[in-house]
Homo-oligomer: A and B are copies of this chain.
Amino acid sequence: MAANATIKHVAREAGVSVATVSRVMNESSLVTEHTRVQVLEVATRLGYVPHGGARSLITNRTSTIGVLLPDLYGEFFSEVIRGIDQTARRHHYHVLVSSSHADQKDIEAVLRSMRGRVDGLILMVPEIQVPPAVALLPEDFPLVLVNCSDESGHHDAITVANYDGAYAMTMHLLGLRHRQIAMITGTPRNLDAAERLRGYRAALKDAGISPDGALELSGDFSETSGFHAAVELARRPFRPSAVFAANDAMAIGALSAFRDAGLSVPNDVAVVGFDDIPMARFVEPPLSSVHVDISALGECATLRLLQAMQQPEVHEVRREIMPTTLVVRRSCGTQ
């Protein structure tokens, strides 16, 4: 268990009342400097640490924010947590995480068990639709959705500019005279995947190129799925001249497959990715990608949540979009 010494012990030992100890611990109001150091000395000596539960019981705040993360491997996860944690700590909040949810039932269970333990929630559920479980929360429960499509507009939301990024990247490829551009998509029900695909399609359409289902291969964001998709492409008699993978991991898998097939990137086929993970610049050839500032995403979400929690009257629900930037390296060649 946590601490043994309670505020009463400290009070008795220091010869003051519990109220005074409480005041000292909260660095609040007027306490004589003399009493203050006295109490602090006793507190440290006894190893006193306030009981978070008791505190939250009376103040009605837990100083904790909950974070629900998808079952996602890779660097994305750690980066976003980093952003969240740093921001939360700066504002003296704790972070209760829960990752890897198999299904809706799972999410619901976690949501239930987190309520009563957190003051607000960051939900990272890159699903096409808002999980029904959200409806179980009280109307005014502070909540920020990350990378989740909320058509209702009822909740705060932050998303990456997936559409814009994919559009820009596709346009860049078109500018390099590519006309047969394949896309390796992400998991079907994943919002990021869907938006990136939409951006890709829109760019093709705007360039007057009619869509070709055969050029859209399904992947699942893993290196392996990118590899397999590229193997399949390499086999075709009429190969596309460029391949746009919905994330860098798949792009790197694709690079590997094309190399195995004896194809040169970017001469025989251009390859680009999305996310711009640190490794992107170190593969061969260095990978062109769409840069996303993931840790800023976490920070941004946390700041919005903090505002919703601390100044609900001033806070207004809105959707925010994190911009992306095009990073051109060698893997897509030059004109």
The answer to whether A256 and B278 touch across the interface, beta carbons within 8 angstroms, is no
Q: Are B282 and A253 in contact (CB under 8 A)?
A: yes
A261 at interface (Cβ–Cβ under 8 A)?
Answer: no
Judging by beta carbons under 8 Å apart, are B3 and A115 in contact? yes
Which of these, B57, B98, B286, contacts A95 with CB under 8 Å? B98
Q: How many residues of A contact B (CB 8 A)?
A: 65
- Contact of A3 (CB < 8 Å), options: B53, B85, B138: B138
The verdict on A244 contacting chain B, using a C-beta distance below 8 Å, is no
Instruction: Return A304 CB to nearest CB of chain B, in Å.
Output: 18
Interface membership of chain A positions 268-282, coded 1 if the CB is closer than 8 angstroms to chain B and 0 otherwise? 000000000011011
Q: Which residues of chain A in 83-121 are interfacial with respect to chain B, using CB atoms and an 8 Å cutoff? A: 85-86, 89, 94-100, 110, 112-119
Residues of chain B within 8 A of A72, CB atoms compared: 78
Interface residues of A in 25-71 (CB under 8 A from B): 47, 49-57, 60-62, 64
Cα distance, A330 to B3, chains bound together (Å) = 54
Contact status A52-B2, CB under 8 Å: no
Name the residue on B nearest A58 (C-beta).
B53
Asked if residues B79 and A73 are in contact (CB atoms below 8 Å), the reply is yes
* Interface pairs A-B: 7 shortest CB-CB: A53-B56, A77-B78, A53-B53, A52-B117, A256-B282, A2-B116, A49-B115
